[in-house]
Structure 1
Amino acid sequence: MGTVVSFDVRGGDPQAVGTALEEAVAGLHRVDEVFSTYREQSQISRLARGELTVEECDPEVAEVLGLGAEAERVSEGWFSTRYEGRLDPTGIVKGWAVERAARHLVAAGASGVSVNGGGDVQLYGVPGPHRPWRVGVSDPLRPGALAAVVSAAGVPELAVATSGTAERGAHIVDPRTGRSAVTDLVAVTVVGPRLTWADSWATAAFAMGSREALAWLESLPDVEALLITAGDEVRCTGGLAQRLG
């Protein structure tokens, strides 16, 4: 997936959780083999070239493409699984894969799970008694500083995903033009139950620009967001304050 993934796993039977962790890591490597657009012989590359059909690919390919189609529908086309006219579900694969890895550890009996994929995080349970998971959101305009701290207090699962230009430059594409998104935003952080959607919504919202994105994010159930503009203006959804701490 072209990124570093880290795990913080608490509780459960050490042997069962240890085995599940090995399986989760192996699963992430398999996702990279299947979905990498940089591997000429990956299933997604061969599918894009017409050498395979979706039915001939692993079942996960159809699953991810279905999720991508749903993200495109909900975002009214601001999210896309195509790049420069070519099939490229990269924008949804990472969140889906990280979420799936975290769920696998929970199923093995872990009482607290945090999986961080390149800065996008899926959380389950708690790290300890009376202590929630907390995620710092980097300030894109002040390196080393935090713009906010998100808390998972009171919820069994939470995801935090950020899209922006601070780390990778202008890499987000406007699906309408096929070129880099022209926007007043430098970062969008989305908070919700599942990383699959939080990551997708952050990408779509960044491409929209702050005014349209804020109204759209407010319309999504169980979603809160923090938007930072190039002019250092901070905008957020109405319920975000309840998730900070």
Structure 2
Amino acid sequence: MPEGKASVRNMVSSIADGASKQKSVSSPEEENSVKHNKLFGREKPVHNILGGGKSADVMLWRNKTISGSVLGSATIIWLLFEWLNYHLLTLICFAIVMLMLGQFLWVNAIEKFSSTPIKLPRIVIPDHVFVNIAKSIGGEINRGLGFLQDISCSGNMKQCLLVVASLWATAVIGSWCNFITVAYIGFVAAHTLPVLYERYDETIDSVMDMIFDKLRHNFRTLDAGDLSKIASNITEKKAE
């Protein structure tokens, strides 16, 4: 246990020393090389990677009022489901009951004070709304599947480890919480992590590069040690 703690301290101290050295670099060639080591190997701005539309503007807080309203609404919905133990069917039924009672009172009040009968317009949701929603959801799912397939087939260990670690963290959180809480955590992360990365991308990229360089070095050392053990075992068996 002391050796493991010492190795962890050495790794953290080496990363901190590397970060301080990275900030003091003044050579243009080194600065350019650092700038090209972007997270997930991205070459486009974060806004374009997120789609470049209104959803990207909301996630990157281009309009703080709209983004704050969206995040606040999601928080209220999560509180209703998680803390007040509401269910989706219960909320839908309550909303329909309130709508029906409101129309009932409105119609009866108008009939008492007016001699002409009133005809309320029908509440109809256009078909293209459902089609657009289905297309949007299907497009996002296909884009996510394509992204995961590109990562798995790219051969880039850093990208693959990041995605695997993210999925592993999601699985662990999912074992602790229910689906609504996991969805809310993902929603909050989608509205906070991109804007933080856009603001501090150079610092995050440099730190992540140093962490993955350290992991690559440890992996190669471990791999070389295992290969040497296997080779020695094979030679010993042949000698016998």
Higher helix share: 2
Higher strand share: 1
Is the radius of gyration larger for structure 1 or structure 2?
A: 2
Q: What TM-score does the superposition give when structure 2 sets the normalisation length?
A: 0.25
Higher relative contact order (CA 8 A, sep 6+): 2
Q: What TM-score does the superposition give when structure 1 sets the normalisation length?
A: 0.24
